[in-house]
């Protein structure tokens, strides 16, 4: 983990650069696979599953028997943990429901807005080095609350052609309607175009590696919406002398172990803390089963010393972290003034891991600086707002003249006529 002292503002962009490839490096591969899947459907999907995942599947749809086996394979302790997490996530997302918004904007003109579920959604659940069954909770629960009719889950198979039982158990618990053993670019392409085995969906959700992120962005060119560009995990911790160095180190490592392209950043007003955290990282990383992954990610990471909280806040908003931990004597300053962050964790006893699993908030969040413009996944992500209006005779007589004038000024005579005909009939 590199240490940088008092960097000039002109250098912030460079030192905060993410360790990701450019879209140009990846897009050619993604385009090739999309084209193949669009033309050849499941044949192409199966080919890339064999190539990238090293397994040939007779059937990529998960059966009822496989789900039953997964339910039996999960320990009672894990089932209870998932149940508690499910309850908290359900409560938090259920509370986000809003009522119909209605107003009489003009005498006799009634306008209202109602929300309707997106009928077909695709959930991408990473497998790879870490089977993220927690992401199933984060995506399927709000989809279920929203009332989505089709919830299709795609996750890469292991070398035995199976999906981790915790993913299958959680998917079953959360009402997923179809589970497909497919990952990577080919999964996103399948959800985009539809195949015999993979239903075409209207919106795709879920995190993934850089190839999955670019594939999701490409899907939008074919009329499929996405939740956000969510790539490799990242965390920024702001801390001072009041912080517990071992906690800070543990939080940094918790994100570093996600993958070699993850990034963690420490911003602090204490040079002493940097030394203490570095020492703790060295101690803790040696005990991690995924220490090689974490160590590689730490090469992409940086500790930055700044003179005061105001400078720290400016730097953090420039970075726009996915996860943001605040452990300072002045937490309220950061909480009140943060503008760009996916999710914020406050105080010494709020590890980012809580949000990843069980506190209730969603962990599918914008990365790579997209928190400047994107929200994390929430209930509204699975809903569409539809507006309605009803105009009475009194309403069209009162508002009609204004509509006529505006339409005529824009040179749209048919628009004006649609009003004029009605007004004439009411004379």
| HSE toward the beta carbon, residue 254, CA cutoff 13 A | 18
Nearest CA to 166 out of 191, 143, 132 is that of: 132
Paired residues of 323 in beta bridges: 235, 343
Tell me: do 285 and 405 sit in the same domain.
no
**Residue after which a domain boundary falls, among 201, 228, 255:** 228
Predicted confidence at residue 31, as pLDDT, reads: 96
Let me know if residue 371 belongs to a domain.
Answer: no
Q: How many helices (DSSP H) and strands (DSSP E) are in the chain?
A: 16, 14
**Residue after which a domain boundary falls, among 166, 198, 228:** 228
Let me know if residue 380 belongs to a domain.
Answer: no
Compute the distance between CA of residue 84 and CA of residue 79 in angstroms, rounded to an integer: 9
- DSSP H or E stretch at residue 337: helix 331-337
| HSE toward the beta carbon, residue 321, CA cutoff 13 A | 29
**Average of per-residue pLDDT across 5-34:** 88
N- to C-terminal Cα distance for the chain?
Answer: 79
- DSSP letters, 23-51, are HHHHHHHHHHHHHHHHHHHHHHHHHHHHH
Token digits of residue 255:
């994100």
322 part of the active site: yes
Let me know if residue 377 belongs to a domain.
Answer: no
Catalytic residue among 257, 280, 322, 352: 322
Catalytic residue among 280, 323, 352, 363: 323
Nearest CA to 176 out of 213, 138, 209, 210 is that of: 138
Res. 134: pLDDT tops 90: yes
Tell me: do 49 and 193 sit in the same domain.
yes
Tell me: do 46 and 184 sit in the same domain.
yes
Tell me the torsion sign for CA atoms 317, 319, 320, 324. Answer: negative
Task: List CB contacts of 357: < 8 A, sequence separation 6 or more.
Answer: 85, 134, 363
Q: What are the tens digits of pLDDT across the range 252-292?
A: 999 999 888 899 999 999 999 999 999 999 999 999 999 99
Let me know if residue 384 belongs to a domain.
Answer: no
Number of domains forming the structure of the chain: 3
Mean pLDDT of the chain: 95
Tell me: do 274 and 261 sit in the same domain.
yes
CATH of the domain at 341: 3.40.50.1980
Binding residues for substrate: 233, 255, 258, 323, 356, 410, 415
Token digits of residue 229:
């560009």
Tell me: do 161 and 77 sit in the same domain.
yes
Q: What are the tens digits of pLDDT across the range 45-104?
A: 999 999 999 999 999 999 999 999 999 999 999 999 999 999 999 999 999 999 999 999
Compute the distance between CA of residue 144 and CA of residue 90 in angstroms, rounded to an integer: 9
Tell me: do 193 and 283 sit in the same domain.
no
Let me know if residue 382 belongs to a domain.
Answer: no
Tell me: do 13 and 37 sit in the same domain.
no
Binding residues for Zn(2+): 255, 258, 356, 415
Tell me: do 14 and 27 sit in the same domain.
no
Could you list the residue range(s) of the whole structural domain that residue 167 is in?
23-228
Predicted confidence at residue 22, as pLDDT, reads: 62
Paired residues of 123 in beta bridges: 153, 205
Q: What letter would DSSP give residue 198? A: S
Nearest CA to 160 out of 54, 45, 61 is that of: 54
Q: Is 342 exposed, middle or buried (0-12, 13-18, 19+ CB in 10 A)?
A: buried
Token digits of residue 26:
């990846």
Compute the distance between CA of residue 415 and CA of residue 407 in angstroms, rounded to an integer: 6
Let me know if residue 357 belongs to a domain.
Answer: no
Confidence of residue 242 (pLDDT cuts 50, 70, 90): very high
SS3 6: coil
| Block residue for tokens 């890339």 | 48
Let me know if residue 369 belongs to a domain.
Answer: no
Binding residues for NAD(+): 124, 186, 209
Predicted confidence at residue 261, as pLDDT, reads: 86
Please state the φ and ψ torsions of residue 375, each to the nearest 5 degrees. -95, 160
**Residue after which a domain boundary falls, among 321, 352, 383:** 352
Compute the distance between CA of residue 357 and CA of residue 355 in angstroms, rounded to an integer: 5
Tell me: do 91 and 236 sit in the same domain.
no
Predicted confidence at residue 23, as pLDDT, reads: 66
Binding residues: 124, 186, 209, 233, 255, 258, 323, 356, 410, 415
Q: What are the tens digits of pLDDT across the range 154-200?
A: 999 999 999 999 999 999 999 999 999 999 999 999 999 999 999 99
Paired residues of 281 in beta bridges: none
Predicted confidence at residue 127, as pLDDT, reads: 83
Please state the φ and ψ torsions of residue 390, each to the nearest 5 degrees. -140, 125
Res. 24: pLDDT tops 80: no
77 part of the active site: no
β strands within 134-286, DSSP E: 150-155, 178-181, 203-205, 225-226, 234-239, 263-268
Tell me: do 215 and 123 sit in the same domain.
yes
Tell me: do 240 and 127 sit in the same domain.
no
Tell me: do 133 and 241 sit in the same domain.
no
Please state the φ and ψ torsions of residue 186, each to the nearest 5 degrees. -65, -30
Let me know if residue 86 belongs to a domain.
Answer: yes
């Amino acid at each position: 983990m590199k240490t940088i002292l008092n960097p000039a503002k002109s250098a912030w962009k460079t030192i905060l650069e993410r360790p990701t490839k450019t879209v140009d490096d990846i897009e050619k591969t993604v385009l090739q696979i999309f084209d193949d899947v669009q033309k050849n459907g499941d044949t192409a999907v199966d080919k890339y599953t064999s190539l990238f995942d090293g397994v040939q599947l007779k059937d990529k749809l998960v059966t009822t028997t496989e789900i039953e086996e997964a339910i039996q394979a999960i320990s009672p302790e894990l089932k209870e943990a998932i149940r508690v997490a499910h309850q908290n996530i359900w409560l938090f997302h259920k509370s986000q429901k809003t009522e119909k918004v209605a107003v009489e904007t003009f005498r006799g003109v009634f306008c209202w807005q109602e929300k309707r579920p997106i009928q077909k959604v695709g959930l991408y659940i990473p497998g790879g080095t870490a089977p993220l069954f927690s992401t199933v909770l984060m995506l399927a629960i709000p989809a279920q609350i929203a009332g989505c009719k089709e919830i299709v889950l795609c996750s890469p198979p292991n070398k035995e052609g199976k999906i981790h039982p915790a993913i299958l158990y959680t998917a079953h618990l959360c009402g997923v309607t179809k589970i497909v053993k497919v990952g990577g670019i080919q999964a996103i392409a399948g959800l985009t175009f539809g195949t015999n085995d993979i239903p075409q969906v209207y919106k795709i959700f879920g995190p993934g590696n850089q190839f999955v992120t670019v594939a999701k962005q490409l899907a939008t060119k074919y009329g499929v919406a996405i939740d956000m560009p969510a790539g490799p995990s990242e965390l920024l911790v702001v801390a001072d002398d009041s912080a517990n160095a071992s906690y800070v180190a543990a939080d940094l490592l918790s994100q570093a172990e996600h993958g070699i392209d993850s990034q963690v950043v420490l911003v602090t007003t204490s040079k002493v803390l940097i030394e203490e955290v570095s020492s703790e990282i060295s101690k803790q990383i040696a005990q991690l089963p995924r220490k090689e992954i974490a160590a590689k990610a730490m090469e992409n990471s940086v500790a930055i010393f700044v003179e005061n909280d105001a400078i720290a806040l400016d730097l953090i908003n420039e970075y726009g972290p996915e996860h943001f931990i605040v452990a300072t004597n002045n937490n309220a300053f950061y909480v009140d003034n943060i503008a760009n962050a996916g999710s914020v964790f406050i105080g010494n006893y709020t590890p980012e891991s809580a949000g990843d699993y069980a506190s209730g908030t969603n962990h599918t969040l914008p990365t790579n600086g997209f928190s400047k413009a994107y929200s994390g996944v929430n209930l509204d992500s699975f809903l569409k707002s539809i507006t309605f209006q009803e105009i009475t005779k009194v309403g069209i007589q009162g508002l009609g003249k204004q509509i006529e004038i505006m339409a005529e000024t824009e040179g749209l005579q048919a628009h004006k006529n649609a009003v004029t005909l009605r007004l004439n009939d009411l004379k």
